[in-house]
Amino acid sequence: MATTARPRRWMHYAATGADEVVVTRGHPSAAAGAKLASVDPSDFWPFVYALAIGLLIGFERERSHPPSRRLAGSRSFALVGLVGAAAAFLGPWAVVAGLATVGALVLLGYWQTSAADPGTTTEVALLATYLLGAMTVDHAPLAAALAIVTTVLLRSKGTIHAFAREVVTDAELEDALKFLVLAFVVLPLLPDKDLGPYGALNPHRIWLIVVTLTGISWVGYIAVRTLGARRGLLVTGLAGGFVSASATTAAMARRSRLTGERDATVSATLLASLATFVQLIGIVAVAAPSILADLWPAAVVGALVIALLALVGARLRRRDSPSEDGGAGVAGPEPAQIGARGDEPGEDVVAADRPFALKPALVLATILTIALFVGRWAAEVLGPDWVIVVAGAAGLADAHAGALGPATLADADVITVAAGLVGIATAVVANTATKLVIALAAGSWRFALRVAFGLVPGVAAFFAVLAVTATRL
């Protein structure tokens, strides 16, 4: 008789099925041989994973400490991983007993080595190795992934400490805590249902969009803080665009006017506009996932065209003027800094003083709410064609607010997907016009013209791909 379901691994040999019990009347070795023949070869894989995990973490710890300050080496870590797998194979009680034993040995070892090395990183790593070894019995791939993450964290000690002490400020840490509260405490409490006139307002979805945009902006802010000052204007423009593409355009235009660095600032401005397409994909993925498949190819094509023109232009201009700060990632004499104020060279306003503030988040939520309501009102009262008009008007102020209305309406089948895509394209085109006006007002007509030569082909490619997609729907 064959068993229909395999018992848990630690009960494998306690099963009472006929296929698990071998009865022999000969020499005792016959029974032993039959039992060994019943072992599933797949049962060995958890121990292979556990051994690899222990050796990986152990090698890192052994290279990080001299023998005199070492609690455990690679062999000890490998054995602890195997012990964890064996304990999980035997049962939950063995896991608890093994954890207590390993914990006691860790405490004893720390008591002996604390005078030379007061840190507890190795001790915690040893406990983690045991638990990861236990995980390999039922979740081997996850355990392996966590082991790699653990090793990277252990190896990145200097980088992490430098980032925490030298890069992140107290204000930024405070803002991070505020953002986490709003993302993981406030967001789950908001009702996820359509409210208000025409059912246009969904508090949970609106705030989720705000959190998504703020999170993307946060990444850009940190990138500027960590890379911008050392890597040059191209990185500053690219990362600053995730914070605010319009503000970055204004900053680069003003820098071009004050310093004459027209070539480098143009390329940086073009790269800043990449954020518009990336954030657009993020918004649609959250607010209107049903049309994401129709949107992202156009967004990717538009972004690639702009990036190509920016990088090719920077390379050619650097070759013609090697002394100019326009190289791909080469720092100039006066790096742009985020959060600076003023009109002097090197005091470019790339984004905001803080990565997150409650007031701008509430303002963004208000803008998105108004855009959703007006778009829904236009669709219900004036007709679907007016949704495109409203999207263009909203896009003059913010591309994402303008795109949100037609995207959500198309997702809810209030308008067709084709009309929604046209509305999104209209919002992006309107926002591009705004950026060109900013480039002209804050910079010069030469600067604005060069920016137009880079932005217009990218936006045109985006519009063309969307048009082709819309005609096929």
pLDDT in tens, 196-220: 676 667 788 788 878 877 777 777 6
How far apart, in Å, are the Cα atoms of 247 and each of 78, 277, 344, 396, 451? 53, 16, 16, 14, 15
Q: What is the pLDDT of residue 115?
A: 59
Task: In whole angstroms, give the CA distance from residue 416 to residue 270.
Answer: 32
Phi, psi of 201 (to 5 degrees): -110, 125
User: Left if phi > 0, otherwise alpha if psi is -120 to 50, otherwise beta: which for 328?
Assistant: beta
Q: What is the pLDDT of residue 148?
A: 92
Task: In whole angstroms, give the CA distance from residue 43 to residue 138.
Answer: 10
The distance of Cα 241 from the centroid of its chain, to the nearest Å, equals 16
Residues 455, 253 contacting (CB under 8 angstroms): no
Task: In whole angstroms, give the CA distance from residue 53 to residue 79.
Answer: 10
Residues 430, 402 contacting (CB under 8 angstroms): yes
Q: What is the pLDDT of residue 117?
A: 60
3-class SS at 337?
Answer: coil
Residue 195 DSSP label: B
Task: In whole angstroms, give the CA distance from residue 374 to residue 268.
Answer: 34
Task: In whole angstroms, give the CA distance from residue 400 to residue 283.
Answer: 7
Q: What is the pLDDT of residue 436?
A: 93
Can you list the residues of the chain whose pLDDT is less than 70?
1-42, 65-72, 112-119, 167, 196, 198-200, 220, 223-232, 313-358
The distance of Cα 31 from the centroid of its chain, to the nearest Å, equals 56
* 224 sits in which H/E element: none
Other CB atoms closer than 10 Å to residue 77's CB: what's the count?
Answer: 29
Q: What is the pLDDT of residue 381?
A: 76
3-class SS at 201?
Answer: strand
- Token pair 């919002």 is found at 427
Residues 260, 357 contacting (CB under 8 angstroms): no
- Token pair 């990277």 is found at 152
Provide the token pair at 404: 């949100």
Task: In whole angstroms, give the CA distance from residue 310 to residue 308.
Answer: 5
Q: What is the pLDDT of residue 395?
A: 86
Burial of 397 (0-12, 13-18, 19+ CB in 10 A): middle
Question: At 62, which amino acid appears?
Answer: E
* 319 sits in which H/E element: helix 292-320
Residue 199 DSSP label: G
Report the C-alpha dihedral over residues 74, 78, 84, 85, rounded to 10 degrees: 160
Q: What is the pLDDT of residue 342?
A: 38
Provide the token pair at 86: 């064996």
| Size of the chain in residues | 473
3-class SS at 70?
Answer: coil
Provide the token pair at 349: 């306003």
Tell which residue, 336, 340, 315, has the closest CA to residue 326. Answer: 315
Q: What angle do CA 460, 461, 462 make, to 5 degrees?
A: 90
Q: What is the pLDDT of residue 70?
A: 53
Task: In whole angstroms, give the CA distance from residue 358 to residue 355.
Answer: 10
Q: What is the pLDDT of residue 337?
A: 40
Residues 389, 430 contacting (CB under 8 angstroms): no
